[in-house]
Amino acid sequence: MPRHLISLLMLSALLVGEDFAEAQQKLANYDESKIPPYTLPELLKTQAGKAVTTADEWTQIRRPEVLALFEQHVFGKTPAATTWGKVDFQVTEVKKDALGGKATRKLIHISLPEHSAWAGMDVMLHTPNGLGKPAPCFVGPSFNGNHAVSPETDIPLSTRWMRASKDQSIVNNRATEASRGSESSRWPLEKIIDQGCAVASYYYGDVEPDQAEGWKEGLRAVLSQDGAATDWKEGDWGAIGAWAWGLSRIADYLETDADVNAKQLAVIGHSRLGKTSLWAGAQDQRFDVIISNNSGEGGAALMRRNIGETTAVITKAFPHWFTKTYANYANREAACPIDKHMLIALTAPRPIYIASAVEDTWADPKGEFLSGLHAEPAYALFGQKGYGITEQPAIDSPVGDAIAYHIRTGKHDVTDYDWQQYLKFAKRHW
């Protein structure tokens, strides 16, 4: 492409957010032969240079090191519980005949009494009726609110800031009636309920609006040292960390709900929220199944491959997602002491499912597969098996045991096919 056309494309994107990322998709490398040679950081070697050969050495020494490296270089460090204090749960609605009588729907408002400047988060929980025992539960963030997850029209419409939508259902960054049920295809509630599982979701913008300056209006500012949006420095947590924090607060609530088996929680997310589910699962071991759907760069894909979305692009388009330090590795990924196989390994020995889509080349499906493959040595310390293969499988042919993977037909999305695999995977391990 001529340089003047590239320049025009870049200018038209305004160098920010979704528009910048979309422009970069047209310029990205998708040719495997053009990936530069790379060497992954050693997974099973401590910072002192000692080989890790047992599960105890991983748990006691190497895993804490790897977690700290992700805190320092990628996501930032989540504040300690003493920072936010008491967490309050208020059940604001119980509907016992939701989804045509199949489920009980609860709406729960989660807040921090010691930090009233934060408006809190609204969780929607569906549990199956007539199960006769506490249900295992899928826990995940939504892009457009509880009213978008469910097709039922009596759910309160979110009043929070939202990203613009291509279908015009979001007007002036606020939800409209047209946005009801807009995410329901990604959350097949009845299918999940029919399998004897519960679903808990929340709108990620309740914790922090998904924009570069959103941290000034969200939880991160409220929990900062002076309780105001005055500083954000290297090592401080980014929006992904804050959204993952919200998932852990849902786990807090679920431990109090008799209708849910809080020992069987699967954390799930798609795209940027797939990155969020991986980070939530890495930090919070109450999530005993982890699911990453099309999480790409910053998620399951190896950053050193430099194919599709790159570290340089994601930290330019979405700097607020990560700690500021991550941008230091734009176009110099080899200098970063971690790569994403180490993020996958942080979930060991808990089962993890990584999913790609064949048309989602921006997310580097092969890089997502390879992260799971290179995480296998950590799982092997616990006697757990990974994929059982070393080459990316055929389309629509799931593989794996404690680490599972599929690449399916279609685009960047969550489909019924994905959910069929996730339900089978989670139930096999519960």
Do residues 378 and 361 make contact, with C-beta atoms less than 8 angstroms apart?
no
Q: What is the 3-state secondary structure (H, E, C) of the chain?
A: CCHHHHHHHHHHCCCCHHHHHHHHHHHCCCCHHHCCCCCCCCCCECCCCCECCCHHHHHHHHHHHHHHHHHHHHHCECCCHHHHCCCEEEEEEEEEEHHHHCEEEEEEEEECCCCCCCCCEEEEEEEECCCCCCEEEEEEEECCCHHHHCCCCCCCCCCCCCCCCCCCCEECCEECHHHCCCCCCCCCHHHHHHCCCEEEEEEHHHCCCCCCCHHHCCHHHHCCCCCCCCCCCCCECCHHHHHHHHHHHHHHHHCCCCCEEEEEEEEEEECHHHHHHHHHHHHCCCEEEEEEECCCCCCCCCHHHCCCCCHHHHHHHCHHHCCHHHHHHCCCHHHCCCCHHHHHHCCCCCCEEEEEECCCHHHCHHHHHHHHHHHHHHHHCCCCCCCCCCCCCCCCCCEECCEEEEEECCCCCCCHHHHHHHHHHHHHHC
Tell me, yes or no, if 116 is annotated catalytic. no
- Alpha-carbon distance of 324 to 237, in angstroms, equals 9
Tell me, yes or no, if 277 is annotated catalytic. no
- Alpha-carbon distance of 274 to 280, in angstroms, equals 10
For residue 127, list its beta bridge partners.
Answer: 104
- Alpha-carbon distance of 168 to 211, in angstroms, equals 18
Do residues 342 and 350 make contact, with C-beta atoms less than 8 angstroms apart?
no
3-12 vs 17-27: helix crossing angle, rounded to 10: 160
Do residues 169 and 137 make contact, with C-beta atoms less than 8 angstroms apart?
no
Catalytic residue among 179, 224, 271, 277: 271
Catalytic residues: 271, 412
